[in-house]
Amino acid sequence: MSDHGHHHHHHPGHLHPPATLNPSILRLSALERLGIAAGLIALLWAAAFWAMR
Protein backbone atom coordinates (compact mmCIF):
# COMPACT_ATOMS: atom_id res chain seq x y z
CA MET A 1 0.00 0.00 0.00
CA SER A 2 1.36 3.42 -0.99
CA ASP A 3 0.55 6.51 1.05
CA HIS A 4 1.74 9.86 -0.29
CA GLY A 5 0.61 11.80 2.73
CA HIS A 6 -1.85 13.81 0.67
CA HIS A 7 -5.02 13.18 -1.26
CA HIS A 8 -5.18 13.61 -5.00
CA HIS A 9 -8.73 14.36 -5.97
CA HIS A 10 -10.67 17.23 -7.43
CA HIS A 11 -13.88 18.68 -6.16
CA PRO A 12 -16.95 18.31 -8.37
CA GLY A 13 -16.96 21.02 -11.01
CA HIS A 14 -13.20 21.50 -10.89
CA LEU A 15 -11.21 20.02 -13.75
CA HIS A 16 -7.74 18.58 -13.50
CA PRO A 17 -5.20 21.29 -14.38
CA PRO A 18 -3.68 20.79 -17.84
CA ALA A 19 -0.31 19.07 -17.97
CA THR A 20 2.60 21.18 -19.14
CA LEU A 21 4.89 19.93 -21.91
CA ASN A 22 8.56 20.59 -21.36
CA PRO A 23 10.78 20.92 -24.42
CA SER A 24 12.71 17.73 -25.08
CA ILE A 25 15.19 16.61 -27.72
CA LEU A 26 13.54 13.19 -27.71
CA ARG A 27 10.25 14.69 -28.95
CA LEU A 28 11.95 15.97 -32.12
CA SER A 29 12.01 13.94 -35.30
CA ALA A 30 15.25 12.28 -36.40
CA LEU A 31 15.62 14.83 -39.20
CA GLU A 32 15.26 17.73 -36.77
CA ARG A 33 17.85 16.19 -34.44
CA LEU A 34 20.27 15.73 -37.35
CA GLY A 35 19.74 19.36 -38.34
CA ILE A 36 20.52 20.54 -34.82
CA ALA A 37 23.62 18.34 -34.70
CA ALA A 38 24.80 19.70 -38.08
CA GLY A 39 24.29 23.26 -36.85
CA LEU A 40 26.31 22.61 -33.70
CA ILE A 41 29.12 20.99 -35.71
CA ALA A 42 29.22 23.99 -38.07
CA LEU A 43 29.32 26.32 -35.07
CA LEU A 44 32.25 24.40 -33.58
CA TRP A 45 34.17 24.50 -36.88
CA ALA A 46 33.49 28.22 -37.23
CA ALA A 47 34.82 28.79 -33.69
CA ALA A 48 37.93 26.72 -34.48
CA PHE A 49 38.65 28.66 -37.69
CA TRP A 50 38.06 31.96 -35.89
CA ALA A 51 40.48 30.94 -33.11
CA MET A 52 43.20 30.01 -35.65
CA ARG A 53 43.18 33.28 -37.57
Encode pLDDT of 1-53 as tens digits.
555 566 666 667 777 777 777 778 788 899 999 999 999 999 999 999 999 99
Give dist(CA 53, CA 43) in Å, integer: 16
Residue type at position 33 = R
**Which pLDDT score is estimated for 16?**
77
Give dist(CA 20, CA 26) in Å, integer: 16
Question: pTM above the 0.75 mark?
Answer: no
